Structures are given as structure tokens and as C-alpha cells.
């Protein structure tokens, strides 16, 4: 069974193992170095030094950053220290705070457009919700707090009460890591030597580090992960057997088939991607840049399981409907219909006809409905 699991990993080739450095045992220093964890910055944040002075460095929303697990207090507020740097980020921009909803409220993506949050379009008085960072002032002059991401999800500030608690080490977002003592265990290397991996900078992947652990080595691990970063689970493993452990207090990862764990810990899913992706969830029409349907001999794009890359979100005036609609621009030049593959030169799909993958990178409309209407009338 172990051999079958190993055959699924394409990240390490025999040639690669031959060319890297000789066997190097990683010393387990988890008792000497504070544990690090990777978290999502949920609200654009400035980094401060240990004295609370701005460093001028900015971390953007939905950027992942490795920080020391235990926050510290600076001038009475909690901050996470960025690993290996004299930079501190306010914990409220990462973990958020808990507030009580004081009036029934909808969720908004813009000042006029509503959206859903955890498949709900309305939240009710008495419930609690996590908000991140300070409020935003929208074009309508009202203030809103972010409650999710990377899709735009906000609640009007006047529907929320004061802060009940700070969610340090209790991140309720879909961030890449959430580390608590209950999610730690000890693993023992069972193979004669096991490759150690590190993350590829700015990519959702890991790569061989050139270092190895030997049979019998023990490590404290604080995360078990499946998904795109490790090429395991939903996107890279047909039976969900593969997963990868993060070695506490280090930058190293080790695959589960190389070790035996003292106890089970929760599997965390990481499906973050630098791409913007949609799914066709029903028969769908493809449009050109002028808002006209592309004729596929009476056929439509069929519902299909694959995800398709898009790179623009914009309003296009649709002459047949006499109004502007929000469209995604397809990167590819072909999709599948009931009659097989259909091709086009430049295609757009209505945002309302497809499902945007919430784990992919969100897009912001590049224009307004009024601007699309004005542009169409000039033609």
C-alpha cells in the first residue's frame, strides 16, 4: 500500500534524488524556536517594528504570510511577528474580531450589490460574526466591515455591535493555516530516508529542499494538509490518501507516506490559486465583446465539471436585452457543448450564468454598467 502511495507523487524524480546533496538529517529544534504558522492577511495591513513604528511595508488582503504562532502586545494591541523579520502585523487584520449582529442584515459586495456568505444571503440579529480590520467607506458614504474573502463580502457597520472578543489563534476564515496545540502530533520517519520539502516562493506548490530525514527521526508537526500546494487531495490525488505534514518551527514539510503519526490531527484543505476560475453549472451562452451571442448552430455550452480560467470581469451592453450585464472574459478559445468542442475567437459569459470558484483569485469589474452603456451608444 505504501508503494502505491509513493507512485502517485511526481514531485520527486529518481534523477532529482541522485543530484541533490547527500543525506542530511534535519535537527528537530521545535523546543528552541517558536513555532511558525502561515496565515492569510484578511485586511490590507501595514507592518510595524517592535516599538510600534510603521516600517512602510504593506501586506495586501488575501496575501499569505508566515508568522510566529504566539502574538505579542505592542502599545496594548496584539500583533503577529513576521517570521525572520522585524515586522509586526495587527492580529485583527489576520484573525479578526467577533461582533454581535444587532439588526438583520444582508451581505454586500458593493454598495448596491448583494452577495452570499457561507451560502446565506441574510444574517440575523443575535448572531455573531467575525470582521477583519477597520471599516471601509463605500461610494454611498456608508461604512462596511469585511467578513470574508477573497470574494467581496461586507456588512454595514451600523448593523454590528462592539467587539466581543479578539480571535487570536482562532481564525474562522479559510486561511491556509490554523495552528493550535490540539492540532499537533509527533511523527516518526518509517523509510530509510525521506525527502523534506519547502514551499515554492509565490506559487501554490512545494519542491524538494535537498535535505532528508532518516528512519527513526521524530518531529513535532502542527499541520496536515491536502490540496494544490502539495499536489494532494482533491486536485492531485484520486483517492485522497496523500497529505503532507508541516514540521513545527521550520520551513520544512514531509509527506504522510514517509512517517507514522502518534495520533490523528485534522486535515486542512489548501486550494488557493493565483488563477481566476469559473465553472459552467448549467447550459450557457457565449457572447462576443459587443454583447451578441456567438452562434453555435443552436447549441449552448453544456454543464461540465471542469474549471475554466478567466482574466477579466466587466460590464457589456447587451443589445437584445437593452441593458448592461456583468461578464467574465474566457482565457481559453474553446469549451464543450452537447455536440462536442466548440471554438471561438474571443468569448465572454454572463457572471450570473456561471459559478465563480471562491478559492481562486477574485476579480473586480473594470468598468460600470453606465460606462458600458455609454460606450455602446458611441458606436
Cβ atoms of 325 and 300 within 8 Å: the answer is no
What are the tens digits of pLDDT across the range 245-301? 989 878 899 999 999 999 888 777 776 677 888 888 888 888 999 999 988 776 666
| Residue 158, φ and ψ in degrees, nearest 5 | -75, -5
Q: Has residue 169 got a pLDDT over 90?
A: no
Q: Which of 7-11, 109-113, 188-192 has the lowest mean pLDDT?
A: 7-11
Q: Has residue 174 got a pLDDT over 60?
A: no
Q: Which of 34-43, 70-79, 263-272 has the highest mean pLDDT?
A: 70-79
Q: What percent of the chain clears pLDDT 90, i.e. is strictly above it?
A: 28
Stated pTM of the model: 0.41
* pLDDT of res. 275: 80
Cβ atoms of 227 and 270 within 8 Å: the answer is yes
237-to-183, 200, 226, 341 alpha-carbon distances in Å = 23, 20, 9, 27
Q: Which of 14-18, 275-279, 368-372 has the highest mean pLDDT?
A: 368-372
Residue 135 contacts by C-beta under 8 Å, 6 or more apart in sequence? 143, 144, 145, 157
Give CA–CA dist 44/287, Å, rounded: 35
Give CA–CA dist 373/324, Å, rounded: 6
* pLDDT of res. 251: 84
Amino acid at each position: 500500500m505504501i508503494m502505491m502511495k509513493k507512485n502517485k507523487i511526481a514531485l520527486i524524480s529518481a534523477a532529482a534524488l541522485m543530484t541533490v546533496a547527500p543525506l542530511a538529517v534535519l535537527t528537530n529544534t521545535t523546543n528552541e524556536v517558536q513555532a511558525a504558522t502561515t496565515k492569510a492577511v484578511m485586511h490590507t495591513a501595514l507592518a510595524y517594528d517592535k516599538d510600534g513604528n510603521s516600517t512602510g511595508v504593506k501586506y495586501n488582503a488575501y496575501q499569505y504570510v508566515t508568522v510566529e504562532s504566539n502574538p505579542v502586545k505592542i502599545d496594548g494591541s496584539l500583533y503577529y511577528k513576521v517570521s525572520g523579520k522585524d515586522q509586526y502585523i495587527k492580529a485583527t487584520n489576520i484573525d479578526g474580531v467577533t461582533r454581535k449582529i444587532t439588526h438583520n442584515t444582508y451581505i454586500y459586495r458593493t454598495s448596491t450589490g448583494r452577495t452570499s456568505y457561507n451560502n446565506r444571503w441574510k444574517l440575523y440579529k443575535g448572531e455573531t460574526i467575525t470582521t477583519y480590520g477597520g471599516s471601509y467607506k463605500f461610494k454611498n458614504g456608508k461604512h462596511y466591515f469585511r467578513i470574508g474573502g477573497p470574494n467581496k463580502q461586507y456588512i454595514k457597520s451600523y448593523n454590528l455591535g462592539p467587539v466581543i472578543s479578539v480571535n487570536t489563534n482562532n481564525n474562522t476564515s479559510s486561511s491556509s493555516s490554523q495552528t493550535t496545540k490540539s492540532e499537533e502530533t509527533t511523527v516518526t520517519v518509517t523509510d530509510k530516508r525521506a525527502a523534506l520539502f519547502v514551499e515554492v516562493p509565490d506559487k501554490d506548490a512545494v519542491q524538494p529542499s535537498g535535505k532528508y530525514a532518516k528512519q527513526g527521526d521524530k518531529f513535532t508537526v502542527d499541520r496536515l494538509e491536502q490540496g494544490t500546494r502539495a499536489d494532494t487531495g482533491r486536485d492531485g490525488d484520486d483517492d485522497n490518501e496523500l497529505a503532507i505534514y508541516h514540521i513545527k518551527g521550520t520551513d520544512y514539510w514531509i509527506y504522510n507516506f514517509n512517517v507514522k503519526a502518534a495520533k490523528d490531527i485534522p486535515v486542512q484543505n489548501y486550494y488557493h490559486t493565483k488563477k481566476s476560475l469559473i465553472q459552467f453549472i448549467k447550459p450557457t451562452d457565449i457572447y462576443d465583446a459587443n454583447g451578441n451571442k456567438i452562434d453555435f448552430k443552436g447549441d449552448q455550452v453544456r454543464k461540465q465539471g471542469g474549471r475554466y480560467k478567466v482574466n477579466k470581469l466587466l460590464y457589456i451592453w447587451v443589445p437584445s436585452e437593452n441593458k448592461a450585464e456583468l461578464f467574465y472574459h474566457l482565457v481559453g478559445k474553446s469549451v464543450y457543448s452537447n455536440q462536442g468542442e466548440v471554438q471561438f475567437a474571443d468569448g465572454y459569459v454572463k457572471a450570473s450564468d456561471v459559478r465563480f470558484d471562491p478559492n481562486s483569485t477574485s476579480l473586480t469589474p473594470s468598468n460600470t454598467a453606465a460606462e458600458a452603456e455609454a460606450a455602446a451608444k458611441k458606436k
